[in-house]
Amino acid sequence: MKKRLLHSACALLVVFNVAVGLRVYSSRAAGEEKQDAGYTSMAVFARAMQLIRQDYVDEKKVSYEQLTHAALKGMLSSLDPHSQFMEASDFKGMQDDTNSRFGGLGVHVAVRDGSLIVVSPMEGSPGFKAGLQPGDQIIKIDGKSTEKMELTDAMSMLRGDVGQKITLTILRPSTREVKDYPLVRENINVASVKDAHIIAPENGSPFKVGYVRITQFNFPTADELGARLDELEKQGMQALVLDLRFNPGGLLDSAVDVAGQFLPPKTLVVYTEGRVPSQSKNYRTRDTVKPRPNYPLAILVNNGSASGSEIVAGALKDLNRAILVGETTFGKGSVQSVIQFDGGSALRLTTAKYFTPSKQVIHEHGVTPTIRATLSTDQERLLMLQRREDIASEAEKNELVSFRDTQLDRAVDAVKGVLIYAEKNAAKKAAL
């Protein structure tokens, strides 16, 4: 038995030697004095695996697959919150998320400062209907503490079969209240473009200001947005407010295509830089995009706007195509490359960072608004409530009667100001 284990450990070392030999040689050729002790470290790893398989008390937990997967999970989680080793089921769940149809709670989560937090609940989802809010800390899942829990494990626990029940224990930082939220998993169909309309004019305003909200970026988002813009333009829209608040992101190409609705062809939207040349890439609008009027554009953002939202907002701000109104965004601007392995598992590895066209880094900094406008915690709660389609409580309806979305008001005022300025300039030119 011991000979077989030692042979396996030695074989692992041989494979590692072949894999890293070229890198070690090239480092020496470059004249590096200090080298990462790869051989020694792998020998320790192989010896540890050998001892665990040989002496650990529970033989059911020491298969090569179990130990290797556990080691990979620990290795990836030590890098950053977004690098992960995914079991086959986790990888399939990620693919389902991307395709906008999956069973779950509809809650986008992330790890920040060691805590599992809600980035944004998806509209119409169980989490959204239950009243979960961005920034909520999930401290237990079905009674199991999330302290030191890896993100992949948390996401795996949140997913499940349609109809299954689950209880989340939530700590709300703004009130320090701890509360259990019993939820039922559902099949979630994500509508990414919602609530397109011309905002009702106030005080006799002659301007037609459009409004569109994007909940996340998936495969059909840009096409859906284009169709809504066509409808609003037919209604005489003169300016637009694009709402990206609480939008957690999604597909990079989709975000670039959304930005392309407002920019000329082949315009740089975002670029990435990594350690290797293959990770440095420019992302531009398509060669052929439908030309649209250059109407004033305001984008609403807050600290729940992440990833793809930050790419769109950062690009349109940098290129002077939009006014950003709201709060500094979440700051998730890193690139994860996904490499699938035999058996269906996969590696999700952070390989680069996003930069806006003016070379501003998004990751851990976010995108700052042009016009800062904040909502109180209670106002954010009412904004989320306003977006629900199943309000039955009279008390909730009464709360919304007096609610004023002051961030939206600021955005509307901003684009109206641009329209008024343009009108005055046109009148001056006509008088000359």
> Does some domain include residue 35?
yes
128 and 21 together in one domain: no
If asked whether residues 197 and 178 sit together in one domain, one would say no
Mark whether 318 is an active-site residue. Answer: yes
Mean pLDDT of 261-281: 94
Residues 315 and 416 in one domain: yes
The β-bridge relationship of strands 137-141 and 144-145 is antiparallel
Q: Output the six-digit token pair for 230.
A: 């066509």
Higher pLDDT pick, 359 / 33: 359
Q: Has residue 81 been placed in a domain? A: no
- Does the annotation count 332 as an active-site position? yes
Q: Is residue 296 part of a domain?
A: yes
How many structural domains are present in the chain?
A: 3
| Residue-range definition of the domain harbouring residue 252 | 193-423
Catalytic residue among 83, 307, 309, 334: 307
Q: How far apart are CA 37 and CA 207, in angstroms?
A: 68
- Residue 267: inside a domain, yes or no? yes
Residues 288 and 270 in one domain: yes
- The string of pLDDT tens digits covering residues 36-87 is 678 898 999 999 999 999 999 999 999 999 999 999 989 998 898 888 898 8
**What pLDDT shows up at residue 18?**
30
Active-site residue among 73, 318, 405, 416? 318
Can you give the pTM of this predicted structure? 0.75
Domain boundary among 189, 216, 240: 189
Q: How far apart are CA 253 and CA 308, in angstroms?
A: 9
Q: Are residues 172 and 240 in the same domain?
A: no
What integer pLDDT is reported at residue 295 of this predicted model?
Answer: 96
Q: What is the pLDDT of residues 86-98, one digit of tens each?
A: 888 778 766 765 5
Catalytic choice (73, 317, 332, 416) = 332
* Contact in structure between 10 and 2 (CB atoms under 8 Å): no
102: confidence class by pLDDT, cuts 50, 70, 90: low
358 is catalytic: no
381 confidence band (pLDDT: 50, 70, 90): confident
Does 71 map to a domain? no
Among 132, 154, 189, give the residue marking a domain's end: 189
Task: Identify the pLDDT of residue 203.
Answer: 63
3-state secondary structure 296-309: CEEEEECCCCCCHH
User: Is residue 361 a part of any domain in this protein?
Assistant: yes
